[in-house]
Amino acid sequence: MATESVILVTGGSGLVGEAVKWVIENDKSERYGKKDNEKWIFLSSKDGDLRKEQDVKAIFEKYKPTHVIHLAAMVGGLFKNMKYKLDFLRENMLMNDNILWQSKEYNVKKVVSCLSTCIFPDKTTYPIDETMVHNGPPHESNFGYAHGKRMIDVYNHAYHEQFGCHFTSVIPTNIFGPHDNYELEGSHVLPGLTHKCYLAKKNNTPFVVWGSGKPLRQFIYSRDLAKLFIWTLREYEEIDPIILSVGEKDEVSIKDVADNIVKAMDFQGEYAFDSTKADGQYKKTASNEKLMKYIPDFEFTPFDVAIKESVEWFVENYDTLRK
């Protein structure tokens, strides 16, 4: 990276943004740690509403970023996605449009934006890979979020072809870690279950997991993902997206997740599955082959260790975290 890089991280107060901050502040390696010529700016919604063009313009005018990691988004689990499809579509489209346009206007050298594996076609072959993003309609449960996110890739190619911009994107699988959103209804499965298990332990009530527990997912620890985001910003040159995920063999069931949470929380009470609740897609196995070709020596934190660290963080920060 050239001298005097100013790296603007949108969504800097969220699950992934806090993890990027943690790695930048704590990792001492050449590959992931902070470099002397870099200034990192972590934004939250208090710095401006990214849905508003004038707020985004003011942010770019203030910081004059040379690089952007664009994480800010309206994010939520299955049940919130089913309920607010237009909000997911519109709010994410507005934020992405404003960030990418101002990045072009301010000659930003590189933007890394964030897609998600849940935007892939519902009817597909497995494992999913980066070439399949636009191959068919997404699952109906989250079509608002999915189409909004898919447009980032369309934008990236259009900006590249018309203006030569170096805008790219990454596709993480399910993310978890400190600073997650632990709301009982709107959250993703892992933080939601962490909170439920905590309350079951505290109130001496049963721990009931929604759905059958059978669906399979790949989870990535937010601090592993943060390292890969930093690698992408510094070293990945393609416009096409890259999947950031653990391997196919590391896919786990929702029951495995719940079992690990029960263990990390040391929950001894009654524990059951409510199969009358929706399961969502049965699986969406993604291939991390492209990533492993680029960075074969990357070491993912073992799932049980990452869950333990996350649950410990949750318990220690219960009073102040998002819930």
**Residue 226 touching ligand NDP (CB under 6 A):** no
Nearer to ligand NDP, 152 or 200 (CB): 152
**Residue 281 touching ligand NDP (CB under 6 A):** no
Q: Which two tokens stand for residue 239?
A: 């416009």
Catalytic residue of the set 32, 145, 182, 236: 145
Task: Name residues whose C-beta falls within 8 Å of residue 84's C-beta, 6 or more positions apart in sequence.
Answer: 76, 144
The nearest distance, CB 141 to ligand NDP, in angstroms, is 15
**Residue 73 touching ligand NDP (CB under 6 A):** yes
CA distance 237 to 232: 8
User: Is residue 178 within 8 Å of 313, Cβ to Cβ?
Assistant: yes
CA distance 232 to 67: 12
Q: Which of 16, 165, 228, 257 is close enough to bind ligand NDP by CB under 6 A? A: 16
**Residue 172 touching ligand NDP (CB under 6 A):** yes
Helices (H), 31-77: 53-63
The nearest distance, CB 152 to ligand NDP, in angstroms, is 9
| Nearest-10 Cα torsion for 131, 135, 141, 145 | 60
Q: Which of 81, 142, 174, 218 is close enough to bind ligand NDP by CB under 6 A? A: 174
The nearest distance, CB 3 to ligand NDP, in angstroms, is 28
CA distance 165 to 180: 32
Phi, psi of 264 (to 5 degrees): -65, -30
**Residue 13 touching ligand NDP (CB under 6 A):** yes
Residue 221 bears catalytic tag: no
Nearer to ligand NDP, 46 or 249 (CB): 46
Q: What type of residue sits at position 311?
A: V
C-alpha separations of 22 from 29, 70, 96 in Å: 13, 17, 25
Which of 33-41, 70-78, 80-88, 195-203 is the region at the interface with ligand NDP (rule: CB under 6 A)? 70-78
Q: Which of 71, 89, 111, 165 is close enough to bind ligand NDP by CB under 6 A? A: 71
**Residue among 83, 84, 102 at smallest CA distance from 92:** 84
Q: Would you please indicate which residues are annotated as catalytic (active-site) residues?
A: 145
* Residues found near ligand NDP in the complex (CB under 6 A): 11-17, 44-46, 49-51, 71-75, 95, 114, 116, 172, 174-175, 181, 188
